[in-house]
């Protein structure tokens, strides 16, 4: 009996270890989908996580209450964000969502306010239309638009981070 309990405990701790995590979660947002406040993207290799968070004004820690920001942080170091999309225009509550519009722009939508355009400086007339995706890569966030003769890939993140 003691042996069975020991084996069970070892199995539980092994599968809950960060080294044994399987990264089958979604890393891509498709045009027309909405990434809600309580949902996140995780890069394929488990390096980054993208989602909404609240900043604790005392320590800059990622939290879950108050004004909401869309950011990217390291999967295994979820204390500080490495990039924030809407640092100057937080969403006042958890009604926010991330979407890709017809023009290829990433926008944060929320109740009680206009959409917040994340990548307003990205020109994308050649890739507008259907089949545009935003993928959280292990090297950052990329957007792919399908063209008749192939693919175009543009990166959305600015060079600066928090």
In order of start, what are the domains of the chain with their CATH numbers? 29-155 (2.90.10.10)
97 vs 39: CA distance, rounded Å? 9
Contact 147/109 with Cβ under 8 angstroms?
Answer: no
pLDDT value of position 107: 94
Alpha-carbon separation of residue 102 from 99, 132, 135 (angstroms): 10, 8, 17
Query: What pLDDT tens digit does each residue of the chain (162 aa) get?
Result: 444 333 333 333 333 333 333 334 699 999 889 999 999 999 999 999 999 998 764 444 566 668 999 999 888 886 677 889 999 999 999 999 999 988 888 999 999 899 999 887 655 555 455 678 888 888 876 655 543 333 334 444 443 333
Residues with Cβ < 8 Å from 94, sequence gap 6 or more? 37, 38, 52, 68
Contact 49/18 with Cβ under 8 angstroms?
Answer: no
pLDDT value of position 77: 81
pLDDT value of position 37: 94
pLDDT value of position 105: 86
The 3 state secondary structure assigned to 54-68 is EEECCCCEEECCCCE
Is the pTM value of this prediction over 0.85?
A: no
pLDDT value of position 144: 53
């Amino acid at each position: 009996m003691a042996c069975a309990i020991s084996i069970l405990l070892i199995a539980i701790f092994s599968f809950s270890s960060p080294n044994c995590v399987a990264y089958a979660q979604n890393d891509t947002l498709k045009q027309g989908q909405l990434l809600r406040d309580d949902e996140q993207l995780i890069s394929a290799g488990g390096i980054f996580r993208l989602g909404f968070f609240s900043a604790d004004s005392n320590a800059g820690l990622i939290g879950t209450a108050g004004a909401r920001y869309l950011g990217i942080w390291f999967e295994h170091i979820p204390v500080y964000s490495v990039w924030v999309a809407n640092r100057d225009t937080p969403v006042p509550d958890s009604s926010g969502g991330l979407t890709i519009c017809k023009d290829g722009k990433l926008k944060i939508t929320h109740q009680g306010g206009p959409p917040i355009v994340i990548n307003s400086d990205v020109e994308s007339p050649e890739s507008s239309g259907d089949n545009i995706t935003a993928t959280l890569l292990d090297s950052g966030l990329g957007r792919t638009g399908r063209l008749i003769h192939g693919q175009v890939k543009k990166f959305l993140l600015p060079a600066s981070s928090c």
